[in-house]
Amino acid sequence: MRINNVTVIGCGTMGNQIAMQAALCGYQVKNYDLNRDMIQKAEKFACDWFASRVLKGKMAQETAAEAQSRLVFTDCLENAGVGADLVIEAVPDILEIKKQVLGSIDRYTPEHTIYASNSSYIVSSLFADAVQRPDKVVNFHFFNPALVMQLVEIVKGPHASGETIDTVMEFAVSIKKTPVLVKKEIYGFVVNRIFSAVTKEACYLLDQDIASAEDIDLAVRKGLNHPLGPLELLDMTGIDLEYHVLMERYKMTGDPADKPSAAIVEHFAKGEYGRKTGKGFYRYGASKEDS
């Protein structure tokens, strides 16, 4: 099938940037959120981003204007669903929220609509039954920041049809992303399973006071040639996101080993989420200091 109209559910950082990327690549896009404040922030970010690209000479004024004309923000779920060929949900990685959101918009979408979840960890077979056509549900995982990062993970659940997978793979290429196909469902997919293993060990070393956050990151950067250390990366992606992901996993498994580390719990409880709050494992401002 051909994708023309895209709806992105969620006007947070990921949802907003996914919507902008699709609009840049020629698609008619609706970015939905029930929170008007989130919509206003998303609209402002989009306007400022396009203006900045034009000012820096990285984008023609005409290109920016055309992309913005294809991007519509709405707080009406019915308007968001009507005519959508592809719905991309970018809501928090909490199973019940995903089920509720997909079940709600499914009342308004055409029969051919594909549902793609931007979940970082949760496999789509756990929420595919929220819609009437589970064969059209797939994981479609972008990386932050979605306007910059090239990789997307497409995960084929046992319920997803070959046509659904092929269509989403083609769409990914059309929005200038590099898709990798995960042939079987597994919690965390490829990248985040590897990332989680590294960050879990880094947090263990920190909890046991074996090395400082700064030295753990330095060792990984210089010894493994990673561009960022694992704790620096957690600060960038958000300690709050990691906390919620791990707690959701713990709820699913009941295994204490899946709980977030003491360091993550402490920073989360203090509202220290990383770069977005100015402090996490490090402080951010005029200079970065070990916290």
| CA-closest candidate to residue 171, choices 92, 113, 95 | 113
C-alpha to C-alpha distances, 39 to 12, 98, 275, nearest whole angstrom:
8, 19, 22
* pLDDT of amino acid 93: 87
| CA-closest candidate to residue 138, choices 196, 179, 79 | 179
Q: Which pTM does this prediction carry?
A: 0.86
Section 88-111 average pLDDT? 96
* pLDDT of amino acid 56: 96
Average pLDDT along the chain: 95
Q: Which two tokens stand for residue 215?
A: 């030295």
What are 143-177's pLDDT values in tens digits? 989 999 999 999 999 999 999 999 999 999 999 99
Section 6-29 average pLDDT? 97
| CA-closest candidate to residue 157, choices 212, 196, 115, 205 | 115
Measure the CA–CA gap between 175 and 163, rounded to whole angstroms: 19
**Paired sense of beta strands 289-290 and 137-142, if any:** unpaired
pLDDT over 70 at 30, yes or no: yes
Which of 201-204's residues contact partners 24+ apart within 8 Å by CB, and which partners? 202/229, 202/230, 202/231, 203/231, 203/261, 203/262, 203/263, 203/264, 204/261
Tell me the HSE value of 157 on the side-chain side, using a 13 A CA sphere: 21
* pLDDT of amino acid 46: 98
**Paired sense of beta strands 71-74 and 28-32, if any:** parallel
* 158-163-164 Cα angle (round to 5): 65
* pLDDT of amino acid 3: 97
Section 207-229 average pLDDT? 97
| CA-closest candidate to residue 104, choices 29, 17, 32, 28 | 32
Domains delineated in the chain: 5-182 (3.40.50.720), 193-286 (1.10.1040.10)
The DSSP-derived string for 234-259 is HHHH-HHHHHHHHHHHHHHH--GGGS
* pLDDT of amino acid 81: 98
The answer to whether 274 and 237 are in contact (CB under 8 A) is yes
* pLDDT of amino acid 290: 43
| CA-closest candidate to residue 228, choices 237, 29, 77 | 237
Q: Which two tokens stand for residue 127?
A: 């929420």
Main-chain dihedrals φ then ψ at residue 161, nearest 5 degrees: -80, 160
* 171-172-174 Cα angle (round to 5): 60
pLDDT over 60 at 277, yes or no: yes
* pLDDT of amino acid 286: 53
